[in-house]
Every structure is written in structure tokens, then in C-alpha cells.
Amino acid sequence: VKSAESHRITLWDTTTKLTLPVKYATLSIYELLRGLPCGSLVEITGYWDNYGFYIEKVEVLHRPVLEDLACIDELPRDPVEFTRRYYLYVRNSSYAKVVKTYSLVLQFIRSLLVKNEYLELPTVIIGHTSDPGLRGASKAVIELYGGLYEVQSSVIMYKQLYASVFGRIFYTARNLRIEPPENVKTGRHLVEFTQVDIESAEDREEDLIRLAEIIIYKTIKYILSKHSNLLDNSRISTLDRQVTKPPYPRLTYEEAIQEARRIGYNVKFGEELSFEAEKALAQKYETPIWILHFPTRARGFYYIEDHKRSGFNVDYNLLLPGGYGEVLDGGCREYRYEKLLDKIKQHGEDSSKYSWFLELTRAGLIRPTCGWAVSVIKVGWGCLGFIWAVVGFINP
């Protein structure tokens, strides 16, 4: 209950504010409602006629103790305080819009994949080692029935296995990476995040690039055309301008580092582009852009080396415009036992961690596959926190 004046009661209904024009109500009802603290929960029973709402009964279901918390519509400035007690602030109206955008984006992307005959598999929570861990993040390990398992940080090898069986598959992956605190502050790499993670044994690099472009393009156009009420006006016009029809420009890794050097970022050949360099590159372009064919030693061992160009992978990352940076990364995968074993060793990894997957490749059960993962949302624990990825791009 926000306020109660004669003939008008304003109710605070969590996300909407409802004003009831009241026809008949005794003075005692107004007195009762006016006396309640902000955030009280009341059940009002009655009926509408042509003149207004006729109240028959008012029941106070709950009277809050900390009334100052109940009607907050501002977020705390301190991100640590916010993360620790985010659950107090989830009624904030801009957050509500982001959560709705998330839900719509996820359902829309899934429906496009299902139309393209991709089969959705159950999100993996714990499993065998599937990824060496990227950019300094560590993993959560738990013991189970005498064995050690990881809380999933990447489903890469699961994707290879299931695409080998079903042809085209995807996960609504929820991954957990314990990022160093300095990464968390960037808002870019977070503890829990949702990726739509696809893999196909029936498509090659070019098919996967085209599918990614069309999905990103259609998803953003869908939100713009059907749910623009979730966006600020300034964001609507920017998205409309930036997200042009695919195909999007493609730079090779070598072209990208030359470009990055030209605008002042000193990227060493053979290393991944830094966040800042990626952001600056994405700032320069007014559309999404691809960076293709990274050096083999700069990226995970599971990418396949281009047989026409030794030292470079068959892989592809998509950057979003306006300084937003990488939102999708993909590539084709090594599936041959001997080559995979060599690459694991060259990357300084312990091959025994991947014995389950090596057993599969050794038996010839892994087909050549390609895939990608698009980050839909990155959040702090619980559900909400900082938000980034596709949803953050659409609705920052």
C-alpha cells in the first residue's frame, strides 16, 4: 500500500503501481490503509461496477517490520554491498526488465535452434574434466562416491560426444568459474553464467558462422520489434543502427592484431587479444565483427589446426559493436586420438584428467564437429547480480 486518500487507493503491486478508484469505502478502511507501513500486504475483496470499485473486505496479510527496505527502488552504489545482498534489490524496475529480456532471448534462441534441428540436452552440473580453464579462472571440485568431479565450467567435450551421436545438439549451459576478483570487477567474467552452447557433426565452419550471425541478428530484431517496451529509447535507436543484416565483416587474427596495434594496443603475436584491445576493436566498427583463425598455442587444445595453415586454428569469435566485445566464440574440434594427446601435452596439461575423453577418441567414437557458445547472461549467484553477454548488450 503506497497511499490511501478519499476515493483513491494506490497499491504498490511489486512491479506495477495500481490505483483503484473507489466508489464506496468507509472511513475506517481509509484509516486502516493509511496506517499501514509501506510494503504491507493486504487482500482487498470486492467488485467493479460502472462507477468504480466497491470494497467489501480488507484483510491485512502481513505488516513488514523493516518498512524502509520494502519500497526501495534504487540500487546501492557499492558493488560489493550489492552482490552480498542483491536479493533485497530485485524489485528494482530496471532489473525486472533485464530479467524479462533474458527469459525472452533464451526462449527465442532455443526456438531457432530447434527449428534448425538441434536437440537440447540436460544442462550438466558436475562431470568429468572438460576444459583446462581459461584466463586464470579456477574450478569448484566436489567429491562424490569416492571420485572427484568438477562443477561444470565448460561442456566442450560433452558437446563433441553428443554431437557425434545425435548430429546437432545444444545445451542451455550454466557454467561456474571461480574468477579472480579483478576479473569480477570488470563485469565481464562472472561466477555463474548462461551460454547457449551448440555443436554439430553435420556442419562446417562456414555453416556455423552463418547460423550464429542469423541468430544474433534475429534475436535482437525480435526484442526490438516485439518487446521494445523493455528498452530505453536511446538503446532502441543504437541497436537499430548497429545490428545490420548479416553477413558481418571478418578479420583474421593477424589482421585484428595489426588493427589493434594501429589504435595503440600492443598485442604480442601468438597471444589472445586483451579485453581492452577487443573492446577498442569492437568500438571502431559499427556492426558486429568476426575474428577468425587464432594461433593454435593461444587457445584451448580442443580446437583443430587448419590443415592448410599450420599453427592456426579453424575458429571464430564474434565481437559486438560499440565497445561491447566478445559475445560468442566457436571453432572446429580435434577428434583424432594421437593429435589430441599431442596437443594436450603441448599445452602443458595433464592428459590423465581427460582419460575419459581420450578413451572415446581412441575408440573412434568422436566425429569431426564444429560449434559455438553464445553468452546469454552472466550473473552473480542466486539469480541476479551484474549482467552482461547478449542480454547485457540488448538491455544494459
Smaller CB separation from a second copy, 26 or 355: 355
Smaller CB separation from a second copy, 30 or 149: 149
Q: How far is the CB of 62 from a second copy (least distance, A)?
A: 5
Separation between Cα atoms, residue 158 and residue 174, nearest integer Å: 14
Q: How far is the CB of 144 from a second copy (least distance, A)?
A: 6
Smaller CB separation from a second copy, 27 or 66: 66
Smaller CB separation from a second copy, 17 or 241: 17
Are 72 and 91 spatial neighbours (Cβ–Cβ below 8 Å)? Answer: yes
Q: How far is the CB of 295 from a second copy (least distance, A)?
A: 24
Q: How far is the CB of 192 from a second copy (least distance, A)?
A: 5
Q: How far is the CB of 255 from a second copy (least distance, A)?
A: 31
Smaller CB separation from a second copy, 31 or 117: 117
Q: How far is the CB of 319 from a second copy (least distance, A)?
A: 24
Q: How far is the CB of 48 from a second copy (least distance, A)?
A: 18
Cell of residue 206, nine digits: 562456414
Ordered DSSP codes for 9-20:
EEEEETTEEEEE
Buried-state track 225-256, b at ≥16 Cβ within 10 A, e below 16: eebeebbeeebeeebeebbeebebeebebeeb
Are 71 and 93 spatial neighbours (Cβ–Cβ below 8 Å)? Answer: no
Separation between Cα atoms, residue 166 and residue 197, nearest integer Å: 15
Separation between Cα atoms, residue 319 and residue 342, nearest integer Å: 31
Smaller CB separation from a second copy, 246 or 368: 368
Ordered DSSP codes for 180-214:
-HHHHHTTSS-SEEEEEEEEESS--HHHHHHHHHH
Element (H, E) at 320: strand 315-320
Smaller CB separation from a second copy, 174 or 279: 174
Smaller CB separation from a second copy, 90 or 263: 90
Smaller CB separation from a second copy, 47 or 145: 145
Q: How far is the CB of 349 from a second copy (least distance, A)?
A: 19
Ordered DSSP codes for 220-278:
HHHHHHH-GGGS-HHHHHHHHHH-PSSPPPEEEHHHHHHHHHHTT--PPTTSPPPHHHH
Smaller CB separation from a second copy, 110 or 221: 110
Q: How far is the CB of 244 from a second copy (least distance, A)?
A: 29
Integer Rg of the chain from CA? 26
Q: How far is the CB of 162 from a second copy (least distance, A)?
A: 7
Residues 6+ apart with CB under 8 A from 60: 32, 36, 40, 41, 42
Separation between Cα atoms, residue 368 and residue 167, nearest integer Å: 10
Name which of 221, 292, 206 is nearest 255 in CA terms.
Answer: 292
Chain centroid offset of residue 177 CA? 14
